[in-house]
Amino acid sequence: MNKKKYYSGNNLGNQWLWHISIACFVLAGLTGFLYRLGMMGWVPGDLSLGNIRHAHSHLMFFGWAVPLPFYIIMQKIVDKTDSGMEGINTMKYSIAAVLFFGLLAYPFFLFYGYRPVNIGSASLPLSVIFSGFVMIGWYGFLIGYWKSRTTLKEDESLPWIDGALVLLTVCSLGAWGVAVIQEVTPSSHLLMKSMTHFFLAAFTEGWVVLVLSGVLISELEIGRQHWWASPQFALGAIAIGAPLTFPYGISESLLTPMLLGTARFGGGLAAIGLLSVVYAIFKSGKWRHAIWIWPVALLTLKGIMQLGASVVPSSFWLADPGLRVLYLHILLLGGLTLLAFAWFNRRTSVSKIFFHLVGGTIMVTLLTLLMFTGVWPKVLSGAWIIDALALGALLPILAVIAYWIKLTQFSNRMRNVDYE
């Protein structure tokens, strides 16, 4: 039998895409570990902590938080049809472009940050340029998805995937806006900060939350009977509220009462939308699964934290950057990563032990990040927390590598069976 170009059902096709995406996660994680070592004074060469942080976050965004969900969406379409190959090919090569340019931007973020690189007589901001190509890859995926989306017309997750991709497009406008402002009014720090955090808010609170909700609704088969209000209400609340949270990232000295009020309103609206999704999942009873309970629990915690930020005094969290770091990791390292590996686990024979190893180490990482906030009791604080942060950053990487090895072994077995 000839080898199939696309696998279906519980198998994984186009393996090289998810292999590269997991490799990006590992590299970004190791960069985060390097950042923690830098906090201990162990920064190699002329690297700066700021550039290490930029390299870590951009690769995690461009190499993991976008291409892996793209892959899941593409496989969902592949599983439902034998047609629409043109759209599927467009999606596949767009994912490849996103990964390629995301990796290409990584060393320039690491060594130069956003600074231009001297090439002969020219001075080019290569990290920014390659990031722009990443976003063009996003648009390519949108084109391929649009050609094939009718395949999902009966699927409950379709509006959530549509909404997620709309928010991804919206957030890219913030990134392009930063480039324009740098050229037109580089002295406008408030406008620059606003556009930067508009991108981040629409990306994390919009794209990530909506695509994770869509995957959960699809995988757990959440129906209309499980919602306390219509799913359109939850979707609209997240989509409208997410971009409005951008002022949360602006420094306190630049934050006006109107901006803070906008952020509170948007955050509260988005939190209600997410908690509505969680309610539907709990009502279905399908969260009581050893695998799915991990991402569901973390998304619940994320929603509660976001709702709390909308009502508690702003001084509680604005002056504590550690809380914001913890919050982002609960969503991205916790919710996104564990949902991705739960998706893999459902389609493979990899032992659940390796999934729980990933989940357990991520919980340790989140605990170490909690230690670095003002919530942690001062009596338990000390210089040892910096060491704990470094250890916490390393453990999930080792667990993911172990899972990756088992995933590769499964894929090789499936490929050998397919050749027979």
Tens of pLDDT, residue by residue over 120-133, are 888 888 998 999 99
pLDDT of residue 70: 98
In a domain, 276, yes or no: no
Distance (Å, rounded) from C-alpha 322 to C-alpha 394?
A: 19
Segment 303-315, tens digit of pLDDT: 999 999 999 887 7
Residue 17 has pLDDT above 80, yes or no: yes
Look at the chain and report how many structural domains it folds into: 2
Over the chain, what is the mean pLDDT? 90
pLDDT of residue 82: 62
Residue 187 has pLDDT above 70, yes or no: no
pLDDT of residue 11: 54
Q: Which percentage of the chain shows pLDDT scores above 90? A: 67
Residue range 276-285: mean pLDDT, rounded: 94
Please say whether the dihedral angle defined by the alpha carbons of residues 284, 286, 287 and 288, taken in this order, is positive or negative: positive
pLDDT bin (cut points 50, 70, 90) of residue 1 is very low
Q: Which percentage of the chain shows pLDDT scores above 70? A: 94
Rounded to 5°, angle at Cα 299 from 155 and 148: 25
CB 215 within 8 A of CB 343: yes
Domain of residue 352 covers 320-420
Which residue in the block uniquely carries the two structure tokens 């757990």? Answer: 220
Residue 343 has pLDDT above 90, yes or no: yes
203 compared with 185, residue with greater pLDDT = 203
pLDDT of residue 281: 95
- Interaxial angle between packed helices 15-39 and 49-60, expressed in degrees from 0 to 180 and rounded to the nearest 10: 160
pLDDT of residue 418: 54
pLDDT bin (cut points 50, 70, 90) of residue 252 is confident
pLDDT of residue 109: 95
In a domain, 407, yes or no: yes
In a domain, 340, yes or no: yes
In a domain, 250, yes or no: no
pLDDT bin (cut points 50, 70, 90) of residue 6 is very low
Residue 72 has pLDDT above 50, yes or no: yes
Give the domain-ending residue among 154, 171, 206: 154
pLDDT of residue 186: 65
- Residues whose CB is less than 8 angstroms from the CB of residue 172 and which lie 6 or more positions away in sequence, other chains included: 135, 138, 139, 199
Segment 290-300, tens digit of pLDDT: 899 999 999 99
pLDDT of residue 317: 76
Give the domain-ending residue among 112, 136, 154: 154
In a domain, 117, yes or no: yes
190 compared with 332, residue with greater pLDDT = 332
Q: Would you mind telling me the total number of residues written for the chain in this entry?
A: 420
CA neighbor of 299 nearest in space, from 262, 331, 260: 331
Give the domain-ending residue among 131, 154, 177: 154
In a domain, 237, yes or no: no
In a domain, 368, yes or no: yes
In a domain, 253, yes or no: no
Distance (Å, rounded) from C-alpha 79 to C-alpha 340?
A: 17
CB 365 within 8 A of CB 393: yes
Residue 7 has pLDDT above 70, yes or no: no
pLDDT bin (cut points 50, 70, 90) of residue 417 is low
- Residues whose CB is less than 8 angstroms from the CB of residue 400 and which lie 6 or more positions away in sequence, other chains included: 22, 25, 26, 29, 337, 341, 358
